[in-house]
Amino acid sequence: MLLTCLLPAVTRAQQSDSLVLRQMADEILRNSTAYENLRVLTKTIGGRLAGSPQMVKAEQWGVKALKAAGADTVYLQECMVPHWVRGEKEEARIVSKLRDFVPPLNILALGNSIGTGKAGVTAPVLEVASFEDLEAKKDQVKGKIVFYNYHFKPEFIKTFYSYGDAVKFRGQGASKAAKYGAVAVIVRSMSHGANNFPHTGAMSYDPAYPKIPAVAIGLQDADRLSDRLKRDNSAKVFLRTTCEMLADVVGHNVIGEIRGNKTPDQYITVGGHLDSWDVCEGAHDDGAGCVQSIEVLRTFKALGIKPARTLRVVLFANEENGTRGAKKYAELAKQRNEKHVLALESDAGGFTPRGFTSTMEPEKKAKMISWKPLLEPYGLYDLEGPGGGTDVGQLHAAIGTPMVELSPDSQRYFDIHHAANDVFEAVNKRELELGAFGMAGLIYLVDLYF
C-alpha cells in the first residue's frame, strides 16, 4: 500500500503527457544547442556586467541565438542600468610588526562599492563575527577596517540557505560599520569552496551613513588574516580599490517569442539573466539560465509543439546589481495589462535539476505537485518548496504571476558563485541539458493545465 501511495498511478492523460515529455528529453539530450551556445557566450564574450561593452555584445549574441532557435519574434526592451566599474586590479596586504613573510591578500571590490582612491587606505583591523559582535565592539570601530569573518554554515543541505544566512554581511556590512566610524570593510566570502577565490557580489549603502569601501576576501586569506590578528593585534591592512559608480546607461532585456496558438495574448515567461559579474565568465550565473531558456524555445519549435499561450523567453538585463531589467519588464507588463500565466526562471546554476521552488495559489501548487510522477523519472522530485527567483519575483510582485525557479543540485554552486572559477568548464553538458528539459516539461504541462 505504501509503495502504491509513494508511486501514484500515472493517469491516462498523464500517459500521453509522459510520451511528450520523453520526446522532449530525447530531443534535448540528442540535439541540444545549449552547451554550444554557452561556450560562445562565455568564451567569446565572457564577463558582462551592466554598462560594460560586453553587455552590448551579449545582447547581440542573445538576439542571434534566439533567432537561431526559431523564435517568431525577437526584440530588445530598453531599460536604464547602473554602470559600476571595477577599475584597476585591487590590492591588499597585511602590515604587521611580525617579521615573517606575508603574501598579498586575495580580494575583490564588492559591486556598487566606492573605491579607496588611488592612494589606498591603511588602517588597523577589527574582526567581528556578526552584527551582534559589531554592536558589542562599537566603541572600537572608529578609524578601523571592520573584518566580517562570518563562516558560511556547512550544515544546510540546500546551500542557498547558507547563502541566505550569510549574505547580509556583504549587502549591509559597510553601512553598519560606517555608522560607528569604520573606514572600510572586508567581508569573508560566502562559500564552502576549498580554495582562495574571493567572491564578489552586490552591496548597497544606507544613505544615513558615509559610504566606505567594501571588499570580499577568499576563505584561506580570511583565515590567514584572522590568525595574524590573533598573533599581532596591532596589525594593519592596506587596501586599494579604484572602483566607482558612473552614470546610468541604456541596457536591454532580450526577448524572443513563439506566438501562442490559441490565446496569444496570454504569456508564459521563461528566462535567465544575461548580465554577470566582470571577474568571471558567468557560466553558471547565469549563462546557464539563458541558454536553457533559449533551449526551451528551440525544443518546442524542433518538435512542432505549438503552445496555446505565447511563450516568451526573456534574457534579463542587470540582475546582479540593480534588477533593472526585470523591474522594467514587470512595469511594462502591468502598464499593458498583460495576462501572465507563469514566470519561470533558472538562476541557481546549470547543475543536475532536482525540482522547482515556487510561489502560487495553493490549487495551482497542488496541480504542479500532482505532476510528480511525470517529472520524477527525470530526477525532478522536489516540487513542494517555496521560492521563486529575483527576476520573476518582480513580475510576481507587480501582477501576482505564479513564479517558479528551477532548483538544481546546489552543492557546487557556492564554490564558484561570483568568483573567477565560474567558467564554462565548470558546467557539465548533460546537467545543463537536463535542467533545460525540466523547464520545457514544466512549461508544456502549465500551458495545458493552468
Binding footprint of a second copy on the chain (CB under 8 A): 2-3, 5-8, 25-26, 29-30, 35, 154-155, 157, 159, 192, 194, 352, 354, 366, 369-370, 372, 377-379, 381-382, 384, 409, 411-412, 415, 428-431, 434
The least CB distance from residue 2 to a second copy, in Å, is: 6
Residue number, 339 or 430, with CB nearest to a second copy: 430
| Between 72 and 382, CB nearer to a second copy | 382
CA distance 344 to 357: 10
**C-beta of 151 vs 306, nearer to a second copy:** 151
Please, what is the minimum distance in Å from the beta carbon of residue 374 to a second copy? Answer: 13
Q: Is 36 a catalytic residue?
A: no
For a second copy, the closer of residues 73 and 411 by Cβ is 411
Q: Is the peptide bond before 100 cis (omega within 30 degrees of 0)?
A: no
- Kindly tell me which of 5 and 247 has the beta carbon lying closer to a second copy: 5
Cβ-based neighbour number of residue 332 at 10 Å? 14
3-state secondary structure of 449: helix
Identity of the residue, 122 or 370, whose beta carbon is nearer to a second copy in the bound complex: 370
Shortest distance, CB of residue 208 to a second copy, whole angstroms? 38
Which residues, at least 6 apart from 277, have a Cβ–Cβ distance to it below 8 Å?
A: 47, 49, 111, 200, 201, 285, 320, 418, 422
Q: Is 386 exposed, middle or buried (0-12, 13-18, 19+ CB in 10 A)?
A: exposed
As measured in angstroms, the least distance from the Cβ of 383 to a second copy is 9
- In contact, 145 and 125? CB cutoff 8 Å: yes
* Reduced DSSP (H G I as helix, E B as strand, rest coil) percent helix, strand, coil of the chain, to 5: 40, 25, 35
Which of 340, 257, 327, 332 lies closest to 293, judged by CA?
Answer: 257
Query: What amino acid occupies position 26?
Result: D
Q: Pairing state of beta strands 107-109 and 214-217?
A: antiparallel
Q: Which CB, 88 or 361, lies closer to a second copy?
A: 361
Tell me if residue 417 falls in helix, strand or coil.
Answer: coil
Minimum distance of a second copy from residue 22's CB (angstroms):
9
For residue 385, give Cα distances in angstroms to 2, 388, 404.
23, 10, 10
**Smallest distance from a second copy to CB 306, Å:** 24
Q: How far apart are CA 98 and CA 95, in angstroms?
A: 9
Give the DSSP letter string of 20-48.
Answer: HHHHHHHHHHHH--HHHHHHHIIIII---
Shortest gap between Cβ of 206 and a second copy (angstroms)?
A: 34
- Minimum CB distance to a second copy, residue 218 (Å): 16
Closest CA to 213 of 89, 85, 121, 104: 121
Write down the catalytic residue from 90, 127, 257, 319. 319
Strand locations in 53-103, DSSP E?
73-85, 91-95
Nearer to a second copy, 179 or 364 (CB): 364
**Cell numbers describing residue 256:** 524572443
What's the N-to-C CA distance of the chain in angstroms? 31
**Closest among 67, 182, 75 to 125, alpha carbons compared:** 182
Q: What is the C-alpha separation between 130 and 119, in angstroms, rounded?
A: 30
Which CB atom, from 88 or from 384, has the smaller least distance to a second copy? 384
Give least dist CB 410 to a second copy, A: 9
Cell numbers linked to 348: 541557481
Catalytic residue numbers, as ranges: 319
